[in-house]
Amino acid sequence: MEFCDDCGSMMKADDELWVCSSCGHKQPKDPSASFVVTEGQEETEVVDVSDAQDRGLPTTSVVCPDCDNDEAHWYMQQIRSADESETRFFICTECEHRWREDDN
């Protein structure tokens, strides 16, 4: 998702450009960004969690369900509707097992 540098409105994808629906400002898309397109939904950027430590992801004290290590990298992502809370994703610092935690 991109926001307009001129007016702050949300921009929409149009071929190789981001176009502001409010003021018409255009800017090129970042060619290195990864996207996942699901039918009926807008494009969303994929979070690359490979090399989590190199990407500067924070760590927290949580027990890995695979190896019982007590530390993991974490990040949050909105994967459900906007009125639902974000989902927390964890990556074990030892075995790199990945799991998520949703609010119920």
Contact 73, 90 (CB under 8 A): yes
Which position among 15, 54, 83, 103 bears the catalytic label?
Answer: 83
- 89 in Cβ contact with 77 (< 8 Å): yes
Q: Tell me which of 14, 30, 84, 86 is the catalytic residue.
A: 84
| Paired strand residues for 20 | 11
Q: Do 68 and 91 fall into the same domain? A: yes
pTM as predicted: 0.47
Residues 55 and 104 in one domain: yes
8 A C-beta contact, residue 26 and residue 19: yes
Catalytic residue status for 83 = yes
Q: How do the pLDDT tens digits run along the chain, 104 residues long?
A: 677 777 877 888 877 788 888 888 888 887 666 555 545 555 555 555 555 555 678 889 999 999 999 999 988 888 777 777 788 889 998 988 999 887 76
Residue 71: the pLDDT is 94
Active site annotation includes 43: no
Rounded distance between C-alpha atoms, residue 27 and residue 11, angstroms: 9
Task: Determine if residue 4 is labeled as part of a ligand binding site.
Answer: yes
92 is in an annotated binding site: yes
40 and 5 in one domain? yes
The answer to whether the annotation marks 42 as part of a ligand binding site is no
Predicted pLDDT of residue 78: 80
Q: Please give the tally of structural domains in the chain.
A: 2
96: containing domain: 49-104
pLDDT for 67 equals 92
pLDDT of residue 34: 54
Cα-based distances in Å from 28 to 5, 9, 73, 90: 12, 16, 32, 32
29 and 40 both lie in a single domain: yes
Does residue 43 have a known ligand-binding role?
Answer: no
The reported pLDDT for the residue numbered 90 is: 92
